[in-house]
Structure 1
């Protein structure tokens, strides 16, 4: 790990600046104390980063859980009761890992995973446009299309046009220009520009701009457009920000329902993020998924014990880590320590950072996830890839993350069924033999009830006076539904003067009287 410090330290700084507003924004969107989001970010980086088998994945509070958390806090009566559900949810995730359920993530099509990355990239861009121009009504952590305040993603962008803050917009544009020049030009000029990252420079310039323009300047930035980290007055007030679970609520059945919900959703988001992160990783590392569930569960137990939000591995932080050159888990761990140190030592300095500068950082992250070239690539791969990809993107943008993934997966399953329908058999029509059409039907290696419609259609369309050669030598699994169709067809064939030759690995049979009896003697699996 120490061989890659020159990559990991600069990357950790970028991840820190990406994670800071998201930790606070997700806590705000969840109806939880702001400090709870920071706790989740700190422990997600330090503890889960150390336990995880992922080299470049970064964990923290997840936007996908915000709606669940908001509803659960209200229904359970207090945040302390909710923390019990977080602890139990973490324990359930550990059980998932022990049961080796981490394999679930591999059953999602690549087109859906790519759609998830692209959809998240588009959402990041759309959600950060208002912040970029100084319209900071909506929290950064609200990634859903329809919002609690009755607005939606696009109406917020329209509203921002009428509420542009000159100072925020100007420093946002300056910050974006610094990031682009640093990435496209300066980073290629010397090692110093690779060690010192563009986001750090943009943030420093943003702080200087805020200090210089304070007072009566028309470009002055109000506190509502700055980062808002809780500032403790003493060690006692700092410790007073921690919350602890009320374990007397453990007998409440609703607490257990919330715990299972958190465990299921957090595990699914984590596994999908792991799959997506491994695809983005230029070194193509493979994350052990069961170990990841164990790490996430352990982290959630710890967060719940000290008042943090539930967490998952998060694609926004992870992709920022990859884009910034992170190579090992050191970057995730260091970013957690940076959050801890900054919250304790320099909270007032953090509260001078304009949100529009951090929005500029996230705009770059979003663009790299949703590059236009990817849309062209998916289109060129054909409809079997492009349709699930497009549905996933639209679902994420116009509903939310889980709905988008679910819709994309559903479309992917429909595509599989269509191709299964089409590929159940192969027909070859030969010249007439003895006055009959000779047709050869070769069944696929696996033929299930999904193929009933296609095979039944072909058999019913055979003309009278046909010689059918039915080849099952390559078939290793033949569903009983198909055998019944063939058995029924054998009776109809006599009425239509159709002769059948069944060819199997045991030889051939002319006009079998019963396919059911034949396949009872022949094992359905080789």
Structure 2
């Protein structure tokens, strides 16, 4: 694992700076103690990172669970009651892993996975724009707040720009671009010391230098906010513990199953997406991942942390920063742990606009305009599910977007299945009859009923039909019944049928049902 430490250490620093504000922000959005987000980040890095089979995946609190957590805490009455559901959810995930449910992730089309990555990238960009300019009010795209539409909200940013935050954000973005496009190719020192670390250091220096300047000073609300314990006792008091006296409450079990299902689905989709992004094309064992996530959630819940999933933002930041093994995820967890113990005050000097600049780059790399052109060039079967997923994530939320994309993907499959049930072409004329050959596909199901029935009904009178089923390995009973009915109609329309199978050729079979009953199962 440590053979690639020269790649993993710089990547872990980047992931740390990406994870820190996300852990705090997700905790805030979840209505949970801020410290709970940091606990989940630490457990996700150290525990899940150690147990996972993923080389470049990073786990921690997920934004997709924030709404569920917020509602669950209100339903269960207290955060301590909610922690019981987190622990139970982890146990259920262990059960999923034992039952080998990890295969579910492979049934999501590639177009939906790419749409998920792109949608998340766009959301990241949109949510970081206010922080980049020092504007306190976050907004969501295509939704209104207080009667304001998206356009007016974006314009409002320019009426509330905080000069210091904007300047240091632009400087940070310039450093990141310079490092990525120019300096990283100039020497090993620029590969070892990553641009995000330099941008953060510059941001802290800028904050310290301008703190006494009324025009450029960055206010506390635009800085990272990590809890600062005064002593060991106050540090330990930040931990919460589950109240197991409510374990018999049915609502606790409902929340637990919800967390287990949603967290497992998000993890499996993230695993699929991360493996696609990985330049070395490592394949993550999904059942092992569920076992690792379940263990992480049990430990996180026991000490007061939020639910954990593998998360694409941190994982993609890890990949883009050159992470090669699980060491980067584990080290980032230790960075989180040591930083909140040793340097919380220093962390609280980091401007949010600098972290926003880092995330803007991450978001852009996930949602490159070139990807839209690539998906369009692949044809409508890829383009439509991709766009539905992207728009669903932006308009509604992550799970809705994925669900709608999957639904459209299934419809596309049904349409293509309808179209590809058979091949039909006119070969020649013989004995005054049209000779038509119909070759059935390898699998023909009830989805293909409409297409086959339409073709058979459209055959003209005095036709010689050659029906080839030698390649067919599965023929649904619905199709056999259609063929059987057609055999009766064919006599009235003077249509001769020649059935070609692996057992030989049959002229004008009286009953297709009887024929296929006698057909060997291997055929």
TM-score bracket relative to the smaller structure: over 0.9
Equivalent residues of 1:244, 1:307 under 8 A apart: yes
Matches within 5 A, 1:57-456: 57-138=57-138, 146=143, 156-456=153-453
Equivalent residue for 1:16? 16
SS at match of 1:251: coil
Measure, in 1, the Cα distance between the counterparts of 2:45 and 2:149: 31
Aligned in 2, Cα 1:151/1:410: closer, same or farther, shift over 3 Å? farther
Q: Is the 8 A contact 1:130 1:156 kept in 2?
A: no
Q: Say which is worse superposed, 473-482 or 499-508, in terms of deviation.
A: 499-508
- Determine if contact 2:389/2:405 at 8 Å carries over to the other structure: yes
Q: Is the 8 A contact 1:64 1:143 kept in 2?
A: no
Counterparts of 1:324 and 1:23 in 2: how far apart (Å)? Answer: 20
Q: Deviations over 1:192-232 (max 9, x none)?
A: 11111111111111111111111242011110111111111
User: Quick one: distance in 2 between partners of 1:371 and 1:56?
Assistant: 21
**From 490, 495, 498, the counterpart of 1:493:** 490
1:432 to partner: Cα distance:
2.0
Query: Cα deviation per residue 1:478-505 (whole Å; 9 max; x = unaligned)?
Result: 0000001111111111111111111111
CA distance in 2, matches of 1:35, 1:167: 28
In the alignment, structure 2 segments of 5+ residues that lack a partner are none
Q: Deviation at 1:135?
A: 1.2
User: Using a 3 Å threshold, how does the CA distance of structure 1 residues 153 and 4 change in structure 2: closer, same or farther?
Assistant: farther
8 Å CA contact retained: 2:126, 2:141: no
**Structure 1: stretches of 5+ with no match in the other structure:** none
Q: How far off its partner does 1:430 sit?
A: 2.4
Q: Deviations over 1:430-462 (max 9, x none)?
A: 222111111111111110000000000000101
Tell me how far 1:155 sits from its aligned partner. 5.8
Q: Hey, what's the Cα distance between the residues in 1 that align with 2:23 and 2:156?
A: 24
Normalised by the length of structure 1, the TM-score is 0.97
SS at match of 1:163: coil
Q: 1:388 to 1:525 in 2, by over 3 A?
A: farther
1:191 deviation in Å? 1.0
SS of residue in 1 equivalent to 2:196: helix
Paired with 1:523 and 1:70, the residues of 2 have a C-alpha distance of 58
Give the RMSD, CA atoms, in angstroms. Answer: 1.5
Q: Is the 8 A contact 2:126 2:140 kept in 1?
A: no
- Whole-Å Cα distance in 1 between the matches of residues 152 and 301 of structure 2? 35
Cα distance, 1:149–1:70 mapped onto 2, change above 3 Å: farther
Secondary structure in structure 1 of the residue aligned to 2:247: helix
